[in-house]
Amino acid sequence: MRTPSVKKTKIGEKTFRLYSIGWLSLKCGKARITLRKWNLAGILPNPIMEIEGREDYRYYLASEIELYTQVIKTIKQGRGVRLEDQRIRQRLMEVREGVVDMLKNNPESLPSELAFEKKYREALEDTKKWAAKIAS
């Protein structure tokens, strides 16, 4: 299993980790392809931060992932999202605007990394060790 990627950026004096769409997928339980489809349809907002020269990649702040996940998990399982559903789009845009405001006014209040990143990486390492032990 491939670990989703992480980049770093500095805003003011604080360093933030930027997470690929794979991390959002892990956190909210939706497939990457679904999230990309939602992004292209304008349901899932574009990430606040862009990585220079990598505009085609989606890297989100930890706060975006946490808050988008809260909204996405309110969607009834199995029902799906109609691409024309304005309520989900509107709620996700409100969340994005809130994070943008926090970045402008008080970036220190935002988390710089995902809380579950370390646990995920540890579990992945344990799985790799276990698999190697079985294979030998």
Distance between CA atoms of residues 70 and 40, nearest Å: 20
32-40 helix and 21-28 helix, angle to the nearest 10 degrees: 110
Q: What is the pLDDT of residues 105-132, one digit of tens each?
A: 998 889 888 888 888 778 878 777 888 8
H helix runs in 29-77, sequence order: 32-40, 62-72
**Three-state SS at 75:** coil
Q: Domains of the chain: which residue ranges?
A: 6-135
Q: Are 26 and 120 in contact (CB under 8 A)?
A: yes
Q: What is the pLDDT of residues 65-101, one digit of tens each?
A: 999 999 988 876 556 666 566 788 899 999 999 999 9
> What pTM value is reported for the model?
0.80
Task: Give the model's pLDDT for residue 62.
Answer: 93
116-131 in b/e burial notation, b at 16+ Cβ within 10 A?
ebeeeeeeeeeeeeee
Task: Give the model's pLDDT for residue 35.
Answer: 92
